[in-house]
Structure formats: C-alpha cells, structure tokens
Chain A
C-alpha cells in the first residue's frame, strides 16, 4: 500500500494504515472494561498454566497424583484450599495442573477448526458456484448434528481419549469458521479494489492471501475467541461422560465426574473443577464479546 503514496508530497509523518487501525482497535478495547477483565483473566490463566505447576512443586506440599487415603474427602481448609478428593489428593493442586490441559484443549481444537474451516470458507466465498455449493452443503450436514452430538459421535468412533476429544471438538468447530469466513469473503470480494488488483494481474492465490485474508481477519479472531469457550465446555462435557481424559489425569471434566459419586458427603469435589470451567469459559466469552465490539466498524464514532 505504501508504494502508492510515495510520489505524493509528504507533509505529515507517513503512517502505516494497518498499524493505525490496530491502535484504534486497541483504544476501543481499552474502553471496554468487561473485555479488559476477560483479557487479563486469560493472561492470568495462561501464566498459571505455565508457572503454576512449577511453583507448586517448589512451595506446595502436594503433587497432583499424591494420594493420602487417611485424608480423603476433606472439606476446604487452610491446608487444602479446595479440599481433597476420594483418594485424598489435593484438589487445588490438581486444578492448577489441569489448567494447562484445559487451555491446550481449547487452543488446539480451535486451531484445527480454523486451519480447515478458514480455507474452506475463503474458497467457498471467493470462487462461488458449484464448489461453494458443495462445501456449504457439507457444512450443513456437519451442522445438522446438534450441539455436542457431532463431537460425541466422532469420539465414539475414534475411542475415548484426550487426543481424540481435541480432534472431535476441532471438527465440530469447522463449520462455524467456514460459514463466517465465507460470508465475509463474499462481501469483500465484491469491493472494487479486488477488481483493481485482479486487473493488475494478481493471481487468485495472491488476492486471497494478500487482500482477502487480512480483511476477514477480524471475524476470524472474534470467532476463534468465542469458539475456545465452546470448545472448553464441549471437551469437559465429553471428559465428564468418561469419553475424554481418563483418570487419574487432572482434567476438570473428569474430576467433576469423579466428584459426582461423593456429592452428598463432599460437595467441594465436584464444585471447584466446575467453577474453574465457568471462569475460563467466562473469560473467553467476555473477551470475545469485547473484541467483537472493538472490531465492529459500526461502532466507530
């Protein structure tokens, strides 16, 4: 873009329009308090995932798998902040160790959905016609399996494991990306500058990567953030059903499922893992809402 401005008399400092745009988005994001809280929470969770287990191994007294049957099903106390489970394991320690798992599941599965969904959406929107029709009908079929059912069906075939849950939730995320990206591509493709670039002899590949992809980035980012929330919910649901992470892994859904048996004697075993799922999902939801508002041109004042 900067080539076009070279010959103009330069009066003001030359600005990079894309950078200016990012600054503007950042400014609007900063104004949105809820989104900021979400963002900080996410950063905090990532820090916990990265450093938490190390800190606990240095300063804590318990390991995530360390059992103490004499001490089982103890309620929250100064010693065990979130209490202990049916094997006397410290729930707080296990939850900290589970943070990494939860975030990996969220990020990886959405990444899978993005890597497959985004190109499908762009191809569909850019080329239109028969290929668009085929891709979108396939997406319709995937969307015909409501909610967790598609992921469930895939896991039932592949077998229950954490890895298969990530794959299943990834596939479950594909249609969302494909649809959103297709819609944005359609509206971008019709703009005149795309015709102009094409008239200049740019290849489809170049048009797609240099001119369309950057312009459909905002909906992709928003969708990815919100999708992580859904992915965490779905994956923990599958683990809860015993089809994902297997015990003794400190995965929150699996921990919750184990706590179910002791609900009447020890409420905390099921409570804390679930509450953590709520917090993580909430953080991604409000952050996603915030960046959607920040990226939405309609909100520009």
Chain B
C-alpha cells in the first residue's frame, strides 16, 4: 500500500509540472503581444512597456518559467493587472466559497445518485427503473446554466430566494444564515453528477447482482435486504468511487457557470471576470488553483480506490 501511494505520488509530479507549463503558456499563446492586449489597443507605448516589465515578459522564456514555478512554490501567483493586488489574495476566501459549493454539490449528487441507482438496479426493468433512468438522462443532458435560470425563475416567485442581493456580497466566512441560498446553486450544480452516478451505480449493481457469490448468498437464505446492502453494494460501489472523483472535477469546472448565474463570489466567477477584463495573471492563477485541486482530489480517489479494491495488486 505504502509502495503504491509513493508510486502514485511520483506519477503526479510530471502532471503537476505539465499543468504549470500549460498555465504558464497561456500568457504566451495569446496571439499578438500580451502586454499590448492587456494594456488595450490604444495604450501609450510607455504603459505597455511598464506592463511588460511588471510581468517580466522581457526575460527569456525559460527564465520566466523558472520564476513562475519558483513563485508558485512559495505561494506567489503574481499580481492582478487590474487591481494590482496579489492574485493569491484575490483568490483567498473565494477559494473556499467554490470548494464549499463543489463539496455540497458532490455530497448531494452522491446521495441522490446512489439511492436512485440502487432503486433502479433492485427494481430493474420495472416502470420505476425506466422513470429513474429517463430522469437521469435528462439530468445528464441539461446545461446547468439553463437549469439554474429556470430554478431561479420558478422559485423566485416563492420565498426561496429571500435575499437575492446578499449573493452579491457573499461573506468571507461562507454561506450565511439561510440554507435556502445554498439550495438552488447546489441543485443546479449537482444534478448532472447525480444523473451520472445513478447510471453508474445501476449498471455496476446489476453486474454484481448477476455474480455467483450473490446467488450463493441468496441460496444460503440470507435476507434479500442484506444481500443487496451488505454483499452486493459493497462491491458495486468500487467503480462508483472513481466516478465520484471525476464528478467532483466536473463540478469544480461547472462552478464557473453556476457562480455566474447565482452571482456567487467564488473562483469561477473570478475567472470569468478576469477573462472579460483580460486580467491574465488572475486567469492563470484561478485555472492553476482549480486544476491543482482537481489533481489532488483524483490522487485521493485513486488511493481510496486501491484501498477499497484489495483484489487489485500492484501491476
């Protein structure tokens, strides 16, 4: 096990390096002169030169990358071109807002997805199964920004969004007093994940239920309930774990849209605002942080997967 973890950690290093190289390149792949684009087309040459100097664009590429990497390691993500604040500060509390949103949504989608998937598998080929699977298909096919807008439209009539404006001033501490504020964004973000997990759980359960040891358990006279929950579910969940990890990533990406719709002041919204104002250091910072988080979560998932699935030995 330790050997596996160490090997997996070592495997992560090239990916991390690759991510930093790609994020670093973002600035240099901009067609034209990045400093000019950041400064604006009609900016005086002096200002462009200033930006170029500040971003260190005059150095040779490898020197720039070396500095970039060195700064990341020390937690310095550069400076926003617009607000002149350090990017790390800009991200600061917004990081937790996004993580919280993604974690809640993951929990909801795992919970709903598992229940729906298990019911579907246990009752397979019944009307209930068909209905659940159709709902899941719709959930999977829905753009979450549309779902979010429709939810707002529908529930804003009721009292579900009592405090619309307070979204704009999301407190540093998190979500505030009203759980209702969290509900709609979480549903918006979690639906697709729930659908995917439901489908995965169903097919995984069906596969396991068809296996010999389940027949044996049933033949022994074990209660159906116990067969399903103790014998089948345990093994059926193993492949689902991987999906949960991937879904968490998809959710992290999805926050970009959800936060925009609900005016939540998280990293996703920061990214979009930065793209709109061509604040590339901030774009680089948020993209980097979100990806690193995703890589880290996947690492955890892989390790827990190996932990759950003891049958797989080191290959």
> A residues bordering B, Cβ < 8 Å?
137-138, 140-142, 144-149, 152-153, 155-159, 229, 233, 236-237, 240-243, 253, 256, 260, 263-264, 267, 270-271, 274-275, 277-278, 281-282, 285-286
Contact = CB atoms under 8 A, between A and B. Distances in A.
Contact of A242 (B18, B142, B276): B276
B113 interface: no
B112 interface: no
B72 interface: no
B22 A263 contact: no
Contact of A148 (B257, B261, B275): B257
A241 B256 contact: yes
Interface stretch (B23-31, B51-59, B121-129, B176-184): B23-31
Nearest to B199: A289
Interface string B57-92: 000000000000000000000000000000000000
A285 B196 CA distance: 12
Contacts of A275: 146
Contact of A236 (B26, B143, B150, B290): B143
Which 10 residue pairs across A and B have the least CB separation, nearest first? A147-B253, A274-B146, A141-B18, A146-B249, A281-B141, A282-B141, A146-B253, A156-B275, A147-B250, A149-B253
Interface in B119-141: 137-138, 140-141
A269 to B, nearest CB: 10
B135 to A, nearest CB: 12
Interface of B: 14-15, 18-19, 21-23, 26, 29-31, 137-138, 140-143, 145-146, 149-150, 152-153, 156, 249-254, 256-257, 260-261, 271-272, 275-276, 280, 283, 287, 290-291, 294-295
A240 B145 contact: yes
B249 A229 contact: no
A243 B290 CA distance: 20
Contacts of A253: 143
Nearest to A38: B137
A138 B146 contact: no
A270 B149 contact: yes
A237 B19 CA distance: 23
A274 B149 contact: yes
A137 B145 contact: no
A149 B257 CA distance: 10
Contacts of A142: 22
B107 to A, nearest CB: 17
Given A237-B257, A241-B260, A144 B294 contact: yes
Given A237-B257, A242-B276, A144 B283 contact: no
A270 B146 contact: yes
Contact of B295 (A137, A144, A271): A144
A137 B18 CA distance: 8
B143 A274 contact: yes
B256 to A, nearest CB: 6
A153 B249 contact: no
Nearest to A242: B276
Given A141-B18, A264-B156, A282-B141, A149 B256 contact: yes
B230 to A, nearest CB: 27
16 contacts: A140-B18, A141-B15, A144-B294, A149-B287, A158-B31, A237-B145, A243-B275, A260-B261, A263-B149, A263-B152, A264-B153, A270-B149, A271-B150, A281-B143, A282-B138, A286-B137
